[in-house]
Amino acid sequence: MSNTDFTIFSSTQLREFTTEVFVHFDVPYDDAILAADVLAYSDEHGIDSHGIARLKTYFDLLRTGKINPKPEIKIIREKSSTATIDGDNGLGLVVGPKCMDIAIQKAKLHGSGWVSVCNTNHYGAAGYYPVMALKDDIIGLSMTNTTKGVAPFNGAEKMLGTNPLAIAFPAYKEPPIIIDLASSAVAYGKVEIADRKNEKIPEGWCIDKNGYSTTMPSEMINGGALLPLGSDKDGSGHKGYCLASMVDILSAVLSGANWGPFTVPFAINSALPEKQVGKGIGHFFGAWEIDGFRDKNEFKTNIDEWIHTMRNTLPRPGTSGVLIPGDPEREAYQLRMRDGIPLHKEVVNSLMDIASYTGINIPS
Amino acid sequence: MSNTDFTIFSSTQLREFTTEVFVHFDVPYDDAILAADVLAYSDEHGIDSHGIARLKTYFDLLRTGKINPKPEIKIIREKSSTATIDGDNGLGLVVGPKCMDIAIQKAKLHGSGWVSVCNTNHYGAAGYYPVMALKDDIIGLSMTNTTKGVAPFNGAEKMLGTNPLAIAFPAYKEPPIIIDLASSAVAYGKVEIADRKNEKIPEGWCIDKNGYSTTMPSEMINGGALLPLGSDKDGSGHKGYCLASMVDILSAVLSGANWGPFTVPFAINSALPEKQVGKGIGHFFGAWEIDGFRDKNEFKTNIDEWIHTMRNTLPRPGTSGVLIPGDPEREAYQLRMRDGIPLHKEVVNSLMDIASYTGINIPS
C-alpha cells in the first residue's frame, strides 16, 4: 500500500461528519455526538479497525431499520452494586457509554458497580469505556461478546467471538495504564491484510475449514477460523478459549443476550445464526472506586512506581524494550492530533457512499 | 518416571496429616482443617503442583516463624461492596478462604463483593476460591500475584509472577464451568519436568538469561525467564503481559502488598527481592450474585445450553475435541477419589522429613 492510498483528515472533520450521519438517521443530537466520540477515540488512537472504517456498517444498519436510533434503555433488574440493562436495540456506541456511566455512579455510591447489557449492538473499541472512569479515579472494566470467528481450543469451527476485555488504571504523574485485548491470537483484520498482500501468516493464527493449521489467509477466510490466544497445545490455547468463554458468559449469558455461535453478526451481509437464544449482543461493564480499597493518591503514586519499574526491564535483544499497556495508542494519538488521521481509500470510498446517500458532505 | 516412583494415598490420609502438621505449629484446629481442605482440593483434582507437594514449603515457613500461625485478619478499608484486608502474615490457605467468604457475604447483601488482600502468603490453587461461591449461586473470581518468574513482553528478565486468574459459573444439570489459568505461557513445573527428563521444550515457553528464545530447560532455569501467554510477537505475547499486569495491580497495588519483581518469594531458600514496596503478597477476590443480574434458574439453564453447544463443536483432527473448563480436573477427581492420589517419591520424602521433625505419622 503506497502513501497515495491514504487521505489525511482531521479528527474534527471526522467527528462532524459522523455526528451528522447519525443525526440524519434520527439519532438524537447528544447521542450522535457521543457515538461519534466513541468512533473518534479509535481513529485518534490508531485503532483503525474500530473507528470510522466501521461507519458504513452502522450506516447500513440504521438505513435498513435494523438498529433503533432512539433507544430507551431500561434497567430490568438491579441491586445496589449491580444492574442488567436492556439496550432497546440501540447503537452500542450510545448504549455502551450510558451503561458504563451507570456502573461508575454505582461505584461512587457503593464502592463498585457492575452492569450487564442485552439487546445492544457493536460498541466500538472496548478500551473507550474504562477510560471514561479514569477522571473519577475509578478502575473501569469492559467486555463484549462479538460474532463468531474463533474456534474453541481443539475445535474445528467458529463458536466464539474475538471477545475483548479492557481495563484501565489511573496513575499520578504518568499516563494511565490502559489494557485492551481481544481473546483471540490475532484480530481478523490481520488475516485480511495478509490476504490482500498475498502474504503467508504465521502458524498459530488460524485453522482451515477442516480444522488443520494453515498459513494461507484465504484458507481461514473461506470457512476456517481464528485460534484463541495461546493458539495450540504447546502455547496453552485452552487459556485463550477460557478467556473468550468468560467474556461471552459475563456479557451475554448473564444479561440474556445471544451468546457463543448465536451472537448476532455486526455486518449486515453476514449470515444470521441458525437461531436466537437471547436479545442482541451483550456487554459487561465494571467500575471499582479506588478509595473503596486504598487511598487513591497512594495507589496512583504506586502505579507510577510500577510503571517506572516495568519500563526499566532489561530489553530483549532486537526489541525496543518493555512498553506500558496504552503506550502504542498514546503515541498514535500524539502523531494523529498533530498530523491528522490517514484513511485508506477503501474507507474514504465508503464515506463517499454515505455522503452521496445522505447528502452530507465531509467537512473540509 | 516409572510407576514405582509413586505411592498411593487416600485423600483422607493426606488431609489428616496436613491438618496435624498445621496444628503442630499452633495453627488453630479449624484453620488447620481449612488449610488442609485448600491443599486437598488440588490433590483431589489433579493439580499436583499446588497440593501437598507444597506442604514442605509451608512447613519451612511455619517452622522458621516466617508465617504467623494465628493471624487476626483486619478490614483496613471498606465500602458496602468493597474491602481491603490485612492478612496479618497468615497462611494464604487460611486468609484466602476467609477473605473470599467476605466477598461472598457482600455479594449477598449488595449484589457484588470485592476484597483485596495484603500481608498474606501463597494461597494454593486459584480455582478453590470461586468454587466456594458456587453453592450460593454466586459467580466467584480470584487472583493472586506470585514471585517473579515471567518476563514482560519484550523484556529479558523476570518481572512478574505467573499471576493466575480463576472464575467459576454454576450450571443447572451440568457440572459448573471452572476456569483457572496462569497468565504465563506455561507453568514453571513443566520446564522442571522437561529438565529432569533431559528433554527439549517448545519454542515460546522460555528465554535464556540474555533474553534469547531457548528450547533448553536448563537455560531458563539458570537465570532465564518464562514467557507470558501468547509467547512472542506473532502469538500476541503482549496480551499475556497485560493479563499478568492486571492481576498484579488488582492483587497487590490496590491492596498495598508487594508487586511485580518485589513480590515475596514462596520458597524459603529463594533470594529476597532487593526491597519491599508493600506488605506480603496480594490476593483479589470477587463475587457477583447472579440474582443481581438475572433470574438464577434462567442463567443456569442457559449455562447448560452453553455447555452442550460447546461440547458439540466439530473436533479438530487428532484431538479429543472441545472440553468445558473444569473437565480435566473433574475427571482427575473421579479417578483419585476411587483409586487414591499418587505422590511422587520426592513428595513422599518431603512428607517423611516433616513426619520425622514433628513426630506426626502419615495415617495408614
**Cβ separation of A294 and B116 shorter than 8 Å?**
yes
Q: Which residues contact A16 (CB under 8 A, 6 or more apart)?
A: A36, A363
For residue B193, count CB atoms less than 10 angstroms from its CB and return exposed for 0-12, middle for 13-18, buried for 19 or more: middle
Please tell me the predicted confidence (pLDDT) of residue A3.
Answer: 67
The tens digit of pLDDT for each residue in B311-347 reads: 999 999 999 999 999 999 999 999 999 999 999 999 9
- Whether B235 and chain A come into contact, CB under 8 Å, resolves to yes
The tally of CA atoms less than 13 A away on the side-chain side of residue A2 is 1
Q: Are A284 and A116 in contact, with CB atoms under 8 Å apart? A: yes
Q: Which residues of B touch A247 (CB under 8 A)?
A: none
Cα gap A164→A161, rounded to integer Å? 9
- Whether A285 and chain B come into contact, CB under 8 Å, resolves to no
Amino acid at B41: Y
The tens digit of pLDDT for each residue in A12-31 reads: 999 999 999 999 999 999 99
- What's the whole-number mean pLDDT along residues B36-47? 97
Angle at B224 between CA B223 and CA B228, to 5 degrees: 145
Cα gap B34→A323, rounded to integer Å? 41
- What's the whole-number mean pLDDT along residues B235-263? 98
The residue assigned the cell 520458597 is B267
The tens digit of pLDDT for each residue in B132-187 reads: 999 999 999 999 999 999 999 999 999 999 999 999 999 999 999 999 999 999 99
Domains B72-182+239-312 and B186-226 share a fold: no
The tens digit of pLDDT for each residue in B265-274 reads: 988 888 889 8
Instruction: Answer whether residue B94 shows pLDDT above 60.
Output: yes
Q: How far is CA A233 from CA A220, A238, B181, in A?
A: 19, 7, 14
Q: Are B33 and B16 in contact, with CB atoms under 8 Å apart? A: no
Q: Which residue of B has its CA nearest to A308?
A: B260
Topology (CATH) of B72-182+239-312? Ribosomal Protein S8; Chain: A, domain 1 (3.30.1370)
Interface test with B, best of A148, A316, A323 (most B CBs within 10 A): A316
Q: Which residues of chain A have pLDDT under 50?
A: 1
Nearest CB to A299: which of B182, B185, B253?
B253
Question: Which residue, B175, B124, B147, is CA-closest to B259?
Answer: B147
**Cβ separation of A309 and B210 shorter than 8 Å?**
no
For A128, the 3-state DSSP assignment is helix
Give me Rg for the CA atoms of chain B: 20
Q: Does residue B137 come out as left (phi exceeding 0), alpha (psi in the -120 to 50 range) or beta?
A: left
Please tell me the predicted confidence (pLDDT) of residue A87.
Answer: 98
Please tell me the predicted confidence (pLDDT) of residue B3.
Answer: 67
Topology (CATH) of A1-70+342-364? Hypothetical Oxidoreductase Yiak; Chain: A, domain 1 (1.10.1530)
- Whether A174 and chain B come into contact, CB under 8 Å, resolves to no
For residue A311, count CB atoms less than 10 angstroms from its CB and return exposed for 0-12, middle for 13-18, buried for 19 or more: middle
Cα gap A62→A64, rounded to integer Å? 5
Q: Which residues contact B185 (CB under 8 A, 6 or more apart)?
A: A230, A235, A236, B204, B205, B226, B227, B228, B229, B230, B231, B237, B240
Cα gap B182→B193, rounded to integer Å? 18
Please tell me the predicted confidence (pLDDT) of residue A1.
Answer: 46
- Whether A319 and chain B come into contact, CB under 8 Å, resolves to yes
The tens digit of pLDDT for each residue in A296-348 reads: 999 999 999 999 999 999 999 999 999 999 999 999 999 999 999 999 999 99
Amino acid at A329: E
Q: If you write DSSP's letter for every residue of A201-253 in order, what string do you get?
A: --TTSEE-TTS-EES-HHHHHTT-EEPBTT-STTTTHHHHHHHHHHHHIIIII
What is the pairing mode between strands A206-207 and A225-226? Answer: antiparallel
Please tell me the predicted confidence (pLDDT) of residue A98.
Answer: 98
Please tell me the predicted confidence (pLDDT) of residue A61.
Answer: 96
What is the pairing mode between strands A82-86 and A74-79? Answer: antiparallel
**Cβ separation of B80 and A111 shorter than 8 Å?**
yes
Q: Which residues pair with A160 in a beta bridge?
A: A150
The tally of CA atoms less than 13 A away on the side-chain side of residue A358 is 24
Q: A186-226 domain in CATH 3.30.60.50?
A: yes
Å from A199 to nearest chain B CA?
A: 14
- Whether B111 and chain A come into contact, CB under 8 Å, resolves to yes
Greatest Cα-to-Cα distance within chain A, rounded to the nearest angstrom: 55
Nearest CB to B155: which of A231, A241, A314?
A314
- Whether A112 and chain B come into contact, CB under 8 Å, resolves to yes
Interface of A with B in 178-197 (CB under 8 A): 179, 181-182, 185-186
What is the pairing mode between strands B164-169 and A206-207? Answer: unpaired
Q: How far is CA A113 from CA A129, B50, B211, in A?
A: 13, 33, 41
- Whether A207 and chain B come into contact, CB under 8 Å, resolves to yes
Summary mean pLDDT of chain B: 96
Domain spans in chain B, listed from the N-terminal domain onward: 1-70+342-364, 72-182+239-312, 186-226
Amino acid at A148: K
Nearest CB to A253: which of B231, B260, B306?
B306
Instruction: Answer whether residue B92 shows pLDDT above 90.
Output: yes
| Lookup: cell for B147 | 514471585
For residue A184, what is the DSSP state?
A: B
For residue A205, count CB atoms less than 10 angstroms from its CB and return exposed for 0-12, middle for 13-18, buried for 19 or more: buried
Instruction: Answer whether residue B239 shows pLDDT above 70.
Output: yes
Nearest CB to B111: which of A81, A277, A319?
A81
Å from A162 to nearest chain B CA?
A: 13
Sheet (strand A281-289) strand order: A74-79, A82-86, A112-120, A281-289, A138-144, A164-169, A177-182
Predicted TM-score of the model (pTM): 0.98
Helix, strand, coil fractions of chain A, as percent rounded to 5: 40, 20, 40
Give the rounded percent of residues in chain B with a pLDDT score beyond 90: 94
Model confidence at B1, in pLDDT bands (50, 70, 90)? very low
